[in-house]
Amino acid sequence: MTTVRGVASGKIILFGEHAVVYGRPAIAVPVRQVQAQAILETTNPGHGFVVDALDLKRSYRLSTAPANDPIATIIRLTLGRLTRPDPPDALLSLTSTIPLGRGLGSGAAISTAIVRALARFFQQPLNPEEISALVYDVEKLYHGTPSGIDNTVIAFEQPVYFVKGKPIERMRAGWPFTLVIADTGLVAPTHQVVGDLRRRWQAEPARYEVYFDQIGAIVNRARRTIEHGPADLNRLGRLMDDNQAILTDLGVSSPELNWLINTARQAGALGAKLSGAGWGGNMIALVEPEQATAVAQSLSDAGATATIVTRVAVFAHSKKAK
Ligand code: PMV
């Protein structure tokens, strides 16, 4: 009897969402307070490979899953990568504390947890780059034109400076800072928001390219601020506000997001913006550590359905991924 476990954290995008789809940089960080878990245990011979998605209240045999099922897809892709085309007799139990469709990387995290569990089960370790590539293949099937930032930050489990199609850059020594993450309670329909913006970009490319360049410049300023300190939280907060202003011009914010963003600023946050695709999902606010509880409380009072306080500790060495 073998039992193995794979886990993966959630994530948020700090700066650069949407522009990252168009080749500009973005910064994303893991959120360890929420995670997806995959437990794989051997069962009796002939039992087949059974998936038990506990949160979704779905249980099914891999052999009967439709071709477009995302969980079945990542299992099949990973088995192929591990050159184990025949699924073992096993039960895969999936749970997650990452809310679905809120920009916290729920899909990429569950895929990553599954890949890790399968790699452990067969004792064939995969490096973060290989895991990221497998998860990206599934993201492409379900999200249209994903930049690849979700699978990258979740597979590497570190703050990343990400440019589509380039090797990831881990963030350099800097100083930790505190964020409050608050959920509007609405699903952020990534595929729709990205598709809607794409149509507007196609109609007026020059106008939107300017916005994307402005976001790219903010991301680079934010990176320098994060990496080089001394702690300049006010500047980082202003950069968040600047990024949010352009996201609003891009048409990806929403009244619910704006309400929480303004609430956070009034409660003393140094800056705030949406995180992820927008139209719903989560916003993030930069706070002094001692303000975190008060800002989180104000956001809950204003209608946020969940809040998370997270401390972003930036990695100590900058190096390109292998
Ligand atoms: O909402 P999420 O976590 O799927 O983030 C979407 C981020 C976008 O930049 C809007 C799209 C992408 O693929 O990077």
Give the burial string for 260-275 (b: 16+ CB within 10 Å, else e). bbebbbebebbbbbbb
Could you tell me if the CB of 190 is within 6 A of ligand 1? yes
Residue tagged active-site, from 69, 89, 150, 242 = 150
- Residue 316 pLDDT more than 50? no
54 vs 273 pLDDT, higher one: 273
Q: What is the pLDDT of residue 85?
A: 87
Helices (H), 34-164: 70-81, 106-121, 128-143, 149-156
Tell me the pairing of strands 58-61 and 160-162.
unpaired
Banded pLDDT at 317 (limits 50, 70, 90) = very low
Q: What is the pLDDT of residue 172?
A: 72
pLDDT in tens, 241-258: 999 999 999 999 999 999
End-to-end CA distance of the chain: 35
Banded pLDDT at 175 (limits 50, 70, 90) = confident
| 18: its two tokens | 């949407």
Distance between Cα 3 and ligand 1 center (Å):
34
Mean pLDDT to the nearest integer, 161-166: 95
Q: What angle do CA 126, 139, 14 make, to 5 degrees?
A: 90
Mean pLDDT to the nearest integer, 43-53: 95
pLDDT in tens, 278-293: 999 999 999 999 999 9
Q: Please, are residues 184 and 257 in contact by the beta-carbon 8 Å criterion? A: yes
For residue 18, the ligand 1 atom closest to its alpha carbon is 9
Pocket test for ligand 1, best of 14, 15, 17, 145 (most atoms within 8 A of CB): 17
Residue 150 falls in the annotated catalytic set: yes
Distance between Cα 139 and ligand 1 center (Å):
10
- Residue 44 pLDDT more than 90? yes
Mean pLDDT over the full length of the chain: 93
Handedness of CA 250, 253, 255, 259 (dihedral sign): negative
Q: Please, are residues 200 and 251 in contact by the beta-carbon 8 Å criterion? A: yes
Mean pLDDT to the nearest integer, 128-138: 97
Could you tell me if the CB of 21 is within 6 A of ligand 1? yes
Could you tell me if the CB of 147 is within 6 A of ligand 1? yes
Distance between Cα 61 and ligand 1 center (Å):
31
Distance between Cα 310 and ligand 1 center (Å):
20
Could you tell me if the CB of 150 is within 6 A of ligand 1? yes
Q: What is the pLDDT of residue 94?
A: 97
Distance between Cα 4 and ligand 1 center (Å):
30
Could you tell me if the CB of 264 is within 6 A of ligand 1? no
Q: What is the pLDDT of residue 170?
A: 83
Banded pLDDT at 230 (limits 50, 70, 90) = low
Could you tell me if the CB of 194 is within 6 A of ligand 1? yes
Instruction: Count the Cβ atoms, other than its own, within 10 Å of residue 229.
Output: 13
Q: What is the pLDDT of residue 188?
A: 87
Q: What is the pLDDT of residue 315?
A: 60
pLDDT in tens, 60-87: 999 999 988 999 999 999 999 999 989 9
The residues facing 273 across adjacent strands are 284
Closest C-alpha to 23, from 304, 199, 219, 204: 219
Q: What is the pLDDT of residue 144?
A: 75
